[in-house]
Amino acid sequence: MGASVQVQGLTIEAGGQTLVDRLSFHIQPGEVLALIGESGSGKTTTALALMGYARHGCSITGGSVRIGETDVLHLSPAGQRALRGRRVAYIAQSAAASFNPSRTVMDQVVEPACIHRLMPRAEAEVKAVQLFRELALPDPEHIGDRYPHQVSGGQLQRLMAAMALIADPDLVILDEPTTALDVTTQIEVLRAFRRVVRDRKATAVYVSHDLAVVAQMADHILVLRNGVMQELAPTGQLLEAPAADYTRSLLAAARPVPRGGGAMSADGQLLLEVRGLCAGYGPLDAQGKPAKPILEDIDLKLYRGQAIGVIGESGSGKTTLARAVAGLVAPSAGHILFNGRYLKPTVAQRTQEELRQVQIVFQMADTALNPSHPIERILARPLQFYKGLRGAALQKRIHELLDLVKLPRSVVGRLPGGLSGGQKQRVNLARALAADPDLILCDEVTSALDTVVGAAVLDLIADLRRELGVSYLFISHDLHTVKAVCDEIVVMQHGRKLAQVARADFDRGDHHPYYQLLERSVPELRRGWLDEMHPAPVANAAAHAASL
């Protein structure tokens, strides 16, 4: 396992535009090359081309890709199908979107081996269980009997890795495989990925916007911008002495700095108050408790112009809290007050003005934006509904919103599928801003963004606080990001509020052990950090994730 990869003059175009411009690089057998750059830089487009694949509307117009002795771009369609999943395997960013919900995990993990007729089904299942053990999955003998929705996000990412590795491919492509994971789960997944890649001497391409993650995984880093290579160097050399100005800007953006106007005084105007909030999913029992309780007895106060961060692992109740405030989940107990007035529990019961005042930016722009509507229509709807804008005034405001989130006005006629992940998230934010809200609920809004765009979004959030007095409830699993933008931090675990920390105490004083765990679990921008992380601090978190 493990083969050399030779790329020469790779050129990919779409609609008369060059997405990847005469790119050349070489990967030695058993090495890991990271592709780094902003959204739209050509990282994923390049990675997919290594399989001879170009997304709809794109075409590979020049250059060559060789894996071992195989000229990938000159294979017949049947030859490329035989290559994919067998000699080249792909681990996608979203495992949840990649698994078939109606089939068991084992059915899907062994599928590449069965399709390519590498071994009998029974032998493939034995090999799958071996991979489950190597990837540190719980109950390896039986986890394959579950369906995708019955395992956690971190487990599903590792199961996708098992599916990719079962055919012993020459090249493994990992496309942002830990982006959607919380920091404690990410450590376990990174450690499992790296161990398997090293033990199997696999050649790998790791696509990411997170330089701190790449520093733990890659032997070399290739920096892309607008499809053009800016720099290619060994990982340690690039982190310590980058040669390109653009690389230096990426490194600077990867180091969080405080943003915003500082903590609000206690005598400011109280905007949002949450009292004894309980919420969950499923039918209520005789005591009025939901079948699956998520939040228990949450108290929270947020003042006008303030930003409060909410941190915790996946399943801690962060998003459910935001959805309850937005009226998307009805509380089973407790109250929510806004500007001193009780809010009705659901969106359907709230007034148009109350809906305008509280807006939510969802984590996954892919599912939040209607794929059949152009960007212009997506932004026009809240402007028409809340502001009654029409004609020239509507067009002007749409353009202003695009300028605000640093998107070119040319995107108005495009569908969400024609935008990069970062661009879609900025449209998601622009749609919330269209209502001129008093409170924006930000649910992991930078988790899928590259470092430069993520830093720009955080700067934008800080600017809006200063200029408009907008308040934020900022949900994240990344403590460093929350520290950069928030006045206070609420720490949640298992649906309960454990602690609330003021900005002045972020980096001092005795904190709750769980706060310290989250702080230690954010990858640092240096080589060797993952090796220094002892498995013990995340054992409890991993055990909790395994139980989900």
CATH number at residue 152: 3.40.50.300
The whole domain housing 437 covers 270-509
Asked if the structure places residue 13 within a domain, the reply is: yes
DSSP 152-213: -HHHHHHHHHHHHHTT--SEEEEESTTTTS-HHHHHHHHHHHHHHHHHTT-EEEEEES-HHH
Q: What is the pLDDT of residue 467?
A: 78
Q: Are residues 378 and 426 in the same domain?
A: yes
Asked if the structure places residue 546 within a domain, the reply is: no
Total count of domains within the chain: 2
Q: What is the pLDDT of residue 267?
A: 44
548 pLDDT above the threshold of 60:
no
Q: Are residues 171 and 276 in the same domain?
A: no
479 pLDDT above the threshold of 90:
no
Q: Are residues 343 and 427 in the same domain?
A: yes
pLDDT level of residue 256 (50, 70, 90 thresholds): low
536 pLDDT above the threshold of 90:
no
Final residue before a domain boundary, out of 475, 492, 509: 509
Q: Are residues 373 and 468 in the same domain?
A: yes
- Which residues on neighbouring strands pair with residue 281, listed in sequence order? 292
For the residues 270-293, what does the mean pLDDT come to?
A: 88
What is the rounded CA–CA span in Å between residue 385 and residue 283?
A: 33
For the residues 65-75, what does the mean pLDDT come to?
A: 95
Q: Are residues 234 and 311 in the same domain?
A: no
In the structure encoding, which two tokens stand for residue 206, read together? 């790791």
Q: Are residues 246 and 324 in the same domain?
A: no
539 pLDDT above the threshold of 60:
no
Q: Are residues 305 and 424 in the same domain?
A: yes
Asked if the structure places residue 364 within a domain, the reply is: yes
pLDDT greater at residue 268 or residue 361: 361
Q: For residue 108, give Cα distances in angstroms to 137, 156, 161, 163.
A: 16, 12, 12, 7
Q: Are residues 197 and 108 in the same domain?
A: yes
Most confident residue range from 132-141, 333-342, 362-371 = 333-342
For the residues 47-59, what does the mean pLDDT come to?
A: 93
Asked if the structure places residue 523 within a domain, the reply is: no
Asked if the structure places residue 532 within a domain, the reply is: no
Q: Are residues 225 and 295 in the same domain?
A: no
Contact status, residue 499 vs residue 515, Cβ threshold 8 Å: yes
Single-letter amino acid, residue 92: A
Asked if the structure places residue 544 within a domain, the reply is: no
Asked if the structure places residue 197 within a domain, the reply is: yes
What is the rounded CA–CA span in Å between residue 490 and residue 499?
A: 6
For the residues 188-202, what does the mean pLDDT come to?
A: 83
Q: For residue 73, give Cα distances in angstroms to 32, 79, 319.
A: 22, 10, 44
Percent of the chain beyond pLDDT 90? 58
Q: Are residues 296 and 373 in the same domain?
A: yes
